[in-house]
Structures are given as structure tokens and as C-alpha cells.
Amino acid sequence: MKSKYSRRSVLKNITLGSGALFLAPAMPIAATCNTKPSEGPLKGNINHSVSQWTFSYLSLEDLCKAVKEIGFSAIDLTGPKEWPTMQKYGIYSSMCYTLGDNNLYKGLNNPEYHDKLIKEYLEVIPIMKKAGYKNLICFSGARKGMDDETGLRNCKTALEKILPIAEKNGVTMVMELLNSKRDHKDYMCNHTVWGVELCKRIGSENFKLLYDIYHMQIEEGDVIQTIRDYHPYIAHYHTGGVPGRNEINNSQELNYPAIMKAILATGFKGYVAQEFVPTYPDKLDSLREAIKICDV
């Protein structure tokens, strides 16, 4: 993925100081509006969302309006600065950021960053509680020569200082699985089995994984069987076409209707967020198409 499209280049724009925020309760998870008058309502089996950074050419207000027009009610990867605008339009924050810089590489596997990260997570969790939001993203960080076992121990040490507050406030810490083969070199949480092992060692329903279908197809493949085997440890899904991280139509190798049916078969009730980089002349047509593809 070219750097101009990288989520990392967008993260810097979502931070906010720790000033007071007055947030209304979140809107319910719902999506039954028409995508177009002739198309009818969405089926309601999948809770749809979209990652804000992939449509950053739009203002947040315009993205909220587009989401409502298409027929769903959630946006992924937003922070407290965005929430009042989203609430104005009845849009749910399906995956939240902290007040900090959310660096993918300075993560929980490195004790050097623990104090800063723990402080940021503990600051935002009560704000999420007030807003009614449930999922808070976290990252393993880069290896920098670290072995898997040391990384597991270090992540567990940090998370055990966060999870009592998360559990008390009904918030789930969600670690994202990212590929280190192509997009995020040296990232530690790059295989599902490593993330699942961390979940098992922590033993809390308030720590789970974000299974990014694009990233895991690149890193390990076997997407549907992996979902079947490890779904109890997955709280959230992201999409993206392979190769290229563009539209999820038949120009790429993944069969998204089949993947969505496999997700539904596990009893999953969380969110599936579109996180592809649109290339169509009308980028919102890409989003409309993706939602219909995944609306099984």
C-alpha cells in the first residue's frame, strides 16, 4: 500500500488533548435504511462499518451522511474528537482510538512504552463508557529483535494493568492482526495463532483480536478455516481486496460473500468494517458495492 494511503499517515490527525468531552449515549447498532430507493433495505445479518481513514477525502460530516444514505450506522477507527459529530448523525464508533498517537510500532510488547500507553488507555476508557462504545484498538508493536515469548509476556504485563478498568467499564481491548510480509514490516502480532495465544494467557472476555482479512490473507491465507477455528477470540473484522487493498469485487482473489457467510455461521454479532482504498471515480460507489457484497 502506498504511503499516501497508509493509516499511519492519518493517525496524527485524530489525536486530542484530555479536555472535557460531553458525549451523548451511543445510538443502537442498526442499519435498515435504503441504499438506494430501488434496492431496498440491507438484510441486517451483518453489522456494517467503514474505516474513516479510507474515505478521508470527505469531511467527517459528509462521511456520516454517506453512511446513513447507504443504509448503515457505524464508522471505524475514530477518537473522542470525532464522536460528537458522529453522534449528531446517529453514527456509532465501532472501533475506538485513544487520545494518544496510536503508533503501530511502539506497542504493548515493549516495556519502554508501557507507562505512556497504559495512561492513554485508562484515560479514554471512561470516556468510551460515557459514550456507550465498546471496542478499543491496541497494537503489539514492532519486534526489534524480540522473540515471540518475550513479546507475549510483555503484552500480558501491560494488559493486566488495563483490563480491570476495561472490564469494569464494559470495554474490550482489541489487538489488530497485521501482515509483516508487505505492509507493516517487523510487526509482532502478524499471525492468528500468536494473537490467540495471548488471548488464552490473559483469559479475559475483554481482550480479543481484530482479524483483518486483507492482512491475514497476505500473511497466512486459509481465511475461512482460520475464522472457524479461532472465532471465539475475534471481536472485529476488517476487509480489503488482495492484492492491492482496493475494492473487494471480483477483480481480486478473496470470495467475500463466502467469508461473510463463514463469519455469520460462527454466531458473530460484532462489526465488519470496510477498510479498502477506493479507486472508482465516485469513491462512494466503491463503498456501496462493498456493503452489498458483504450483505449476505
Q: What's the pLDDT at 4?
A: 39
What 3-state class would DSSP assign to 173?
A: strand
> Is pLDDT above 80 for 37?
no
* Closest to 210 measured CA to CA, from 189, 241, 182, 183: 189
The answer to whether 104 and 141 have CB atoms below 8 angstroms apart is: yes
Q: Is the pLDDT of residue 29 over 60?
A: no
**Averaged confidence pLDDT in the chain:** 90
Q: Crossing angle of helices 283-294/256-265, nearest 10°?
A: 50
Q: Of 136, 151, 137, nearest to 191 (Cα)?
A: 151
Q: In the predicted model, is pLDDT for residue 274 greater than 70?
A: yes
DSSP label at 255?
A: -
The 3-state DSSP class for residue 41 equals strand
Q: Is 67 exposed, middle or buried (0-12, 13-18, 19+ CB in 10 A)?
A: buried
Residue 99 has a pLDDT of 86
Which residue carries 477470540 as its cell?
233
The pLDDT of residue 40? 72
Q: Before 243, cis peptide (omega within 30)?
A: yes
Which of 27-41, 144-158, 231-245, 270-284 is predicted with the least confidence, judged by mean pLDDT?
Answer: 27-41
Q: How far apart are CA 198 and CA 257, in angstroms?
A: 30
Q: What is residue 39's predicted lDDT score, i.e. its pLDDT? A: 61
End-to-end CA distance of the chain: 28
pLDDT of residue 56: 96
CATH topology of domain 3-14+24-294: TIM Barrel (3.20.20)
Contact yes or no for 26/131 (Cβ under 8 A): yes
Q: Residue 266: is its pLDDT beyond 70? A: yes
191 phi/psi in degrees, rounded to 5: -135, 140
pLDDT per residue as tens digits for the range 235-263: 999 999 999 999 999 999 999 999 999 99
Q: Work out the average pLDDT over 250-278.
A: 98
Give the Cα separation of 124 and 98 in Å (integer): 6
Q: What is the pLDDT of residue 102?
A: 84
Check if the beta carbon of residue 128 is closer than 8 Å to that of residue 171: yes
pLDDT at 18 over 70: no
pLDDT of residue 100: 85
Distance, in Å, from the CA atom of 15 to the CA atom of 106, rounded to the nearest integer, reads: 16
C-alpha cell at 41: 433495505
pLDDT tier at 172, thresholds 50, 70, 90: very high
The answer on pLDDT for 94 being more than 70 is yes
In this structure, are residues 137 and 102 in contact, taking their beta carbons and an 8 Å threshold?
A: yes
pLDDT of 32 > 60? The answer is: no
Q: Where is pLDDT greater, at 10 or 142?
A: 142
What integer is the mean pLDDT of 292-296? 98
Banded pLDDT at 101 (limits 50, 70, 90): confident
